[in-house]
Amino acid sequence: MNMESKTLLNKRVLKDEVKNYLSERIIQGDYSSGERLIETQIAKNLGISQAPVREALRDLEQIGLIRIEPYKGAYVHQFSIQDLKNAYTVRSKLEVLAIEYAIQNIRDDELQKLNDIYEQMLIIDTSGDIQKQIMLDIEFHEIIVKASRNNVLTKVWESVSIAQWTYFGTLYHKKYNAIKLVERHLPIIESLYKKDAEMAKQTIHTHFGELQELLEKS
């Protein structure tokens, strides 16, 4: 690899690191909805130049975590309950398709991992650790989507800012019984063990439908 290639690779890696850093801070709530992200300040805090920060912000805009206003700067995206309901509708359609494929392709170790995550979610929800709860929920659904063995579907699913919507959804739903929210994942696991495609698709549809109903009560 020549020097020019190494330089391009280093820039790309640095940009991805900044993007991951900012994404995590947004999801954790360190940056509040509507807050301005100051490029120069972020670069100073991280001890790097502004270029990778600028590129990372552009990527975050593409996945919907922030919005960039010309001559004003970058701001953490503000979402409404209707936005969240729309996101649940899209996720439901994608994950119904994913689980239909996953029924045929999921491995035993992936099924066991779903069980393990479910048990962890039951424990975490009693501790009030929202960040851990979000990460486990994302991992649970990600295993199912990836078990579809459909790379196009997986990429589309990843592009709709799953972490962001899970974060906002968790905040909206945290006033409801946490254990009951977690227990909604159990029928999904059971349908996969039974390899019942119709049951699996219905459980995903019901899973997101119930979350939408809870939003109506918010």
Whether the pLDDT of residue 89 is over 50: the answer is yes
Around Cβ 100, how many Cβ atoms within 10 Å?
16
pTM of the complete model beyond 0.75: no
Tokens of 89: 């509708």
pLDDT given at position 195:
96
The per-residue pLDDT for range 37-85, each reduced to its tens digit, is 999 999 999 999 999 999 999 988 876 778 999 989 999 987 777 877 8
The per-residue pLDDT for range 136-156, each reduced to its tens digit, is 888 999 999 999 999 999 999
Q: What is the mean pLDDT of residues 5-17?
A: 61
The per-residue pLDDT for range 16-36, each reduced to its tens digit, is 889 888 877 876 678 888 999
CATH number of this structure's domain 3-76, picked from the four choices 1.10.10.410, 3.30.2020.30, 2.60.120.260, 1.10.10.10 = 1.10.10.10
The per-residue pLDDT for range 105-117, each reduced to its tens digit, is 999 999 999 999 9
Domain with CATH 1.20.120.530 in the chain: 81-216
Whether the pLDDT of residue 99 is over 70: the answer is yes
CA atoms within 13 A on the CB side of 62: 10
Domain with CATH 1.10.10.10 in the chain: 3-76
pLDDT given at position 4:
35
Question: What's the distance, Cα to Cα, between the start and end of the chain in Å?
Answer: 56
For the domain 81-216, what is the CATH superfamily, name and number?
GntR ligand-binding domain-like (1.20.120.530)
Q: At what angle do helices 130-147 and 108-127 cross, to 10 degrees?
A: 160
